[in-house]
Chain A
Amino acid sequence: MEKRTKSFYVLTAFFALFILFLYGPTLTIGILSFQGPEGGLTFPMRGVSLNWFRELYMEQAVGDIWGAFRRSLVLGLMVMVTTVTVSVMGGFAFRKRFYGSGILFYLIIASLVIPSILISLGVGLIFNQFGLKIHWATSGFGSQLTWTLPFGLLIMFAVFNRFDKSFEEAARDQGASPWQTVRYVVLPIIAPSLIGVALFGFTLSYDEFARTLLTSGSYNTLPLEIFGMTTNVTTPVIYALGTLTTLFSLLIIGAFLLTVWIMGKRRARFGSDAGKGV
Chain B
Amino acid sequence: MLKNRHIQGWLQASPLTLILIGFLILPIITIVVVSFWQATEFSIIPAFSLENYQFLFGSPVTYKVFFATFKYALITWAMTLAIGFTVAYYLAFHIRSQTMQIALFLLCTIPFWTSNIIRMISWIPFLGRNGIANSALQSWGIIDQPLEWLLYSDFSVILAFVHLYTLFMVVPIFNTMTRIDHSLIEAARDNGASGFQTLIHVIFPLTKPGIMIGTIFVLTLVMGDFITVRFMSGSQKANVGRLISNDIALLQYPSAAATAVILLITVLIVIGILLRFVDIRKEL
- A108 located at the interface, meaning its Cβ lies under 8 Å from any Cβ of chain B in the complex: yes
Main secondary structure, interface of B, reads helix
CA distance A87 to B107 in the complex (A): 26
Which B residues are CB-close (under 8 A) to A206?
A: 115
Q: Interface size (A, Cβ < 8 Å)?
A: 91
- Binary per-residue interface labels of chain A (70-93) against chain B in the complex, 1 for a CB within 8 Å, 0 otherwise: 000000000000000111011011
- Binary per-residue interface labels of chain A (225-252) against chain B in the complex, 1 for a CB within 8 Å, 0 otherwise: 0110010000000110010011001101
CA distance A246 to B111 in the complex (A): 9
Would A117 and B253 be within 8 Å (CB), given that A14-B90, A145-B23, A158-B284 are in contact?
A: no
CA distance A105 to B216 in the complex (A): 16
Asked whether, in the complex, the Cβ of B20 is within 8 Å of the Cβ of A146, the reply is yes
Asked whether, in the complex, the Cβ of B19 is within 8 Å of the Cβ of A19, the reply is no
- A53 located at the interface, meaning its Cβ lies under 8 Å from any Cβ of chain B in the complex: no
CA distance A129 to B9 in the complex (A): 33
- B31 located at the interface, meaning its Cβ lies under 8 Å from any Cβ of chain A in the complex: yes
Q: Which of A42, A153, A210 contacts B226 (CB 8 A)?
A: A210
Asked whether, in the complex, the Cβ of A26 is within 8 Å of the Cβ of B111, the reply is yes
Would A115 and B241 be within 8 Å (CB), given that A11-B89, A28-B125, A123-B27 are in contact?
A: yes
Q: Interface size (B, Cβ < 8 Å)?
A: 82
Nearest-neighbor residue (CB-CB) of B46 within chain A = A129
Nearest-neighbor residue (CB-CB) of A153 within chain B = B16
- Binary per-residue interface labels of chain B (246-269) against chain A in the complex, 1 for a CB within 8 Å, 0 otherwise: 001000010011001001100100
Asked whether, in the complex, the Cβ of A209 is within 8 Å of the Cβ of B116, the reply is yes
Asked whether, in the complex, the Cβ of B115 is within 8 Å of the Cβ of A223, the reply is yes
- B132 located at the interface, meaning its Cβ lies under 8 Å from any Cβ of chain A in the complex: yes
CA distance A104 to B162 in the complex (A): 31
Q: Which 4 A-B pairs have the closest CB atoms?
A: A122-B27, A115-B224, A98-B9, A93-B12
26 contacts between A and B (CB under 8 A): A14-B87, A15-B91, A21-B163, A25-B163, A26-B119, A28-B132, A93-B10, A94-B9, A98-B9, A108-B20, A114-B220, A114-B264, A118-B27, A118-B28, A121-B256, A122-B30, A122-B31, A125-B257, A142-B23, A203-B113, A206-B115, A209-B117, A223-B115, A226-B117, A227-B117, A246-B114
